[in-house]
A and B are shown apart, each in its own frame.
Chain A
């Protein structure tokens, strides 16, 4: 039987605010335990939550970026359960009336584009951390993270493979960073995914029983966990069993998912509107103000690059993979006064290659957009050829100086002078009569051999285009 996989993703994106969602304590990562937990975070008797408007603005920003409906009135609710790192005994979240509803995200796949529909995105507070080592059989509680603002983004069950799920997660990750609402740091837990996975016979209309896989903090784990889970569910059904709705945890060391709790053990969270917080009301002005502050979004930018710069969908996609890359590209073409395709191929080629080898982000590149523009201008002006440009790039990468200095220091100036090239080519033709004969007999390859000889004679400094032209003229005679 052919099986179809159905996946929905829930993502917790930590909103990049200076202070917590309901208190004035700082949200910085990595502080000593409990130094960033104030009376409100500790849930001392008598303390009350006060909503941080910056978190609301970031959530609205996200809603606008995905074309969602911003509920003008949304409600904070209490989700009640006991856990030592949940100081109040309830988490303040949004339940029946979330701030953001609907919307969608366009995802680039190998074979085209796919739209993943979003169900909702709501604001909530994070819990603290329980630490089970180093406490002599007891647990330590660090409440620094308690009260950190989160946006929980929930999709419809629109993805059909682990690859699609990963593509969605990457697109979402890029978007939240693009609009500056989340730093996207997955190691620090700023961007965490849960996957709801089910399988069904291909063509079936009803969904299979799903399992939720928790806390997948890398794209690789997301992919591995889904693939494992799909195999597990198919085997289970094929062997005559059935999938039990449950929450599972991915174990990256054993590369398998494990049951965490079944539906029967699920908490009754006893949601009810938090009486300490008034309903959240968003005015039209606030929405318009946030809308006007939104940067050009990746999809719009991608389409514009294709339209205005005649880039391929692939190249435009690469250049809009992050806001930093797009900004680098735009600075570069601005400095060059054009050169759209040249700039695109150098970023996607040399620069990305070097960054990947060095394990760096584009923001950490030793070659800035202005420096790269200096280099590409030399290429545009025919002062150097492509091969030389790559040498110069490598030297710049090693911080040997700017393009002009390196060209000078290495005497890399390209030979474009017609007289000099004619002289050199006469020598090449004289020295390679066999190739000349072959070319005249119709062997195109012989032409390339002659060009190669000419480049060799110029020690790689010859302008290949000019050499081509002159050689063609001479051979035509």
Chain B
């Protein structure tokens, strides 16, 4: 049960070997047992989840089951879900019960999936360690003294500890992929515009994308099939024909079963293997690259010359957008309002001072600064130009290769508190992941071994626009030939 794929669970549900109520209760029990130590979930509502599970069982009984019908899904607390507390990890939304469903939530509900609960996250998704949450830090199931990564750390820890078969998260600079890597599971950030942002609380609008967090590439594909789709309520949503992201999973290229990845050109950027990369992570990634070659892929040395600029550009653009996106949290219409204030300006000041945590305030200040009169050109406009250069680097790289492979994070999960006092050190965690957001291209992380302290290492696969199916196929074939993705942390049985 703990390692069952979505396909297997779906089959068992369809064959009535297990009911959705039983499956949901099974996970609720695990949450009750494991969550006090891990703090991955911030809201669990068994009655609501079980009601959805009963409805799913009825649907299955009526022969109307779909691939996700009856499957419990953990939702990052950034997705608005009708009737659910939706806090985005912040005190300022500590009392916000959403009156509506995000597009992703709507689609999952319509597919018959069960909302298993809302998962903890860095406040407003700002963080790489899930330590900035108002509800306390999330702990890594592999070692509770360490962070799970962030910002979707709650969703990643929930899947790693098998408290949920699958979860959803959001990724602005690596917030799905980095926690997936640090928790030894899989996560995918789709091409910008594939998943609607409607109802996903905005951090940095031009970078945010929702995506799945799961145990395998195959599960990611099944989840993305439901999450993706045009939504007229999001002007950046792409109107494209529906795509089956699982269609290519079992396609061994050129029909050679021993070499299913024959013909695949994997680009390995020299910039990803220089200073800053942990030796343990480097070794695990090298071994994975070798495995890809054994499976038939051809390794191509490439260069992404503007890699070093991606973190600085990201930490101008993302805070700039955030400083404006977070202005709506003013204590006027909903959310937290300071109890005592003298006038309007004082109400704003106190509500926001008390409602936001330190990291959020830091980014609002950075964002406000870079958009200010006299600084806009030097920071924001320049960062936008760098953004175009980075996208161009990738477009050029994809003339030589099909996918770009490398580490997801420079190091394995670090100890809680190790980097909180050094934001720049923390931001450098995103060095391999932010470029995909800046370019708007898809990227994913899958487990590929273990490093220091027996902590998981993530392999990063990036592709050109709309290359999701190709990426998922490569990852799936790798997972057919390896079992890193089936390893579970000890102590969470």
Contact = CB atoms under 8 A, between A and B. Distances in A.
Contacts of A50: 232-235
A78 to B, nearest CB: 5
Interface string A68-110: 0000000000101010100111100000000000000000000
B303 interface: no
Given A272-B371, A276-B235, A48 B334 contact: no
Nearest to B88: A45
A277 B380 CA distance: 18
Contacts of A47: 198-199
B25 interface: no
Interface in A23-39: 39
Contacts of B235: 48-51, 276-278
Contacts of B368: 270
Contacts of B100: 39, 44
Given A84-B332, A276-B205, A278-B236, A90 B199 contact: no
A88 B334 CA distance: 12
Nearest to B197: A48
A45 B327 contact: no
Given A84-B344, A141-B332, A272 B199 contact: no
Nearest to B317: A275
Contacts of B102: 46
A50 B103 CA distance: 15
A268 interface: yes
Given A43-B333, A45-B86, A47-B199, A80 B327 contact: yes
Contact of B320 (A82, A87, A272): A272
Nearest to A40: B233
Nearest to A266: B373
B90 to A, nearest CB: 10
A383 interface: no
A42 interface: yes
Interface in B41-88: 79-80, 86, 88
Contacts of B333: 42-43, 87, 141
Interface SS, A side: loop
B201 interface: yes
B236 A45 contact: no
A51 B96 CA distance: 27
A89 B327 contact: yes
A173 B379 CA distance: 42
Contact of A46 (B198, B323, B326, B332): B198
Nearest to A80: B324
Nearest to A34: B333
Interface in B71-125: 79-80, 86, 88, 93, 96, 98-100, 102
Interface in B187-207: 197-202, 204-206
Contact of A268 (B88, B197, B372): B372
Interface residues of A, number: 29
Contacts of A276: 202, 205, 235-236
Contacts of A46: 79-80, 98, 102, 197-202
Nearest to A49: B235
B198 A88 contact: no
A44 B329 CA distance: 9
B93 A275 contact: no
Contacts of A49: 235
Interface string A362-381: 00000000000000000000
A139 B88 CA distance: 29
B293 to A, nearest CB: 40
Given A45-B96, A46-B200, A270-B368, A90 B234 contact: no
Contact of A82 (B199, B348, B372, B380): B348
B414 interface: no
A45 B371 CA distance: 22
A270 B332 contact: no
A85 to B, nearest CB: 9
B321 A45 contact: no
Nearest to A42: B333
Contact of A270 (B200, B202, B206, B324): B324
A10 B103 CA distance: 40
A276 B197 CA distance: 9
Nearest to B332: A84
A270 B348 CA distance: 18
Interface string A133-158: 00000010100000000000000000
Interface string A306-323: 000000000000000000
Contacts of A88: 327-328
B393 interface: no
B443 to A, nearest CB: 20
B271 interface: no
A370 B329 CA distance: 60
A45 B234 contact: no
B372 A270 contact: yes
A45 B380 contact: no
B22 interface: no
Nearest to A272: B371
B330 interface: yes
Contacts of B326: 89
Interface string A253-287: 00000000000000010111001111000000000
A89 B323 CA distance: 10
Contacts of A268: 372-373
Max count, chain B CB within 10 A of own CB: residue among A48, A51, A141, A278: A48
Interface string B311-347: 0000000001101101111101110000000001000
B376 interface: yes
Interface string B334-377: 10000000001000100000000000000000001001110010
A141 B200 CA distance: 26
B148 to A, nearest CB: 24
Nearest to A267: B373
A90 B320 CA distance: 13
A78 B376 CA distance: 14
A103 to B, nearest CB: 28
A303 to B, nearest CB: 43
Contacts of B232: 50
A79 to B, nearest CB: 10
Contacts of A139: 344
Nearest to A37: B333
B160 to A, nearest CB: 27
A44 B198 contact: no
Contacts of A141: 332-333
A270 B371 CA distance: 5
Contact of A45 (B204, B324, B328): B328
A80 to B, nearest CB: 5
A107 to B, nearest CB: 35
B93 A272 contact: no
A45 B98 contact: yes
Nearest to A23: B233
A98 B452 CA distance: 56
A48 B198 contact: yes
Max count, chain B CB within 10 A of own CB: residue among A82, A141, A268, A270: A270
Nearest to A76: B235
A95 B143 CA distance: 51
Interface of B: 79-80, 86, 88, 93, 96, 98-100, 102, 197-202, 204-206, 232-236, 320-321, 323-324, 326-330, 332-334, 344, 348, 368, 371-373, 376, 380
8 contacts: A44-B98, A46-B198, A50-B232, A50-B233, A84-B344, A87-B333, A270-B372, A275-B321
The 4 closest A-B pairs by CB, nearest first: A89-B327, A275-B206, A270-B371, A275-B205
Given A45-B96, A90-B324, A141-B333, 20 more contacts: A42-B333, A45-B98, A45-B329, A46-B200, A49-B235, A80-B327, A82-B348, A84-B332, A84-B344, A87-B333, A88-B327, A89-B326, A89-B328, A89-B330, A270-B371, A270-B376, A272-B320, A272-B380, A275-B205, A276-B202
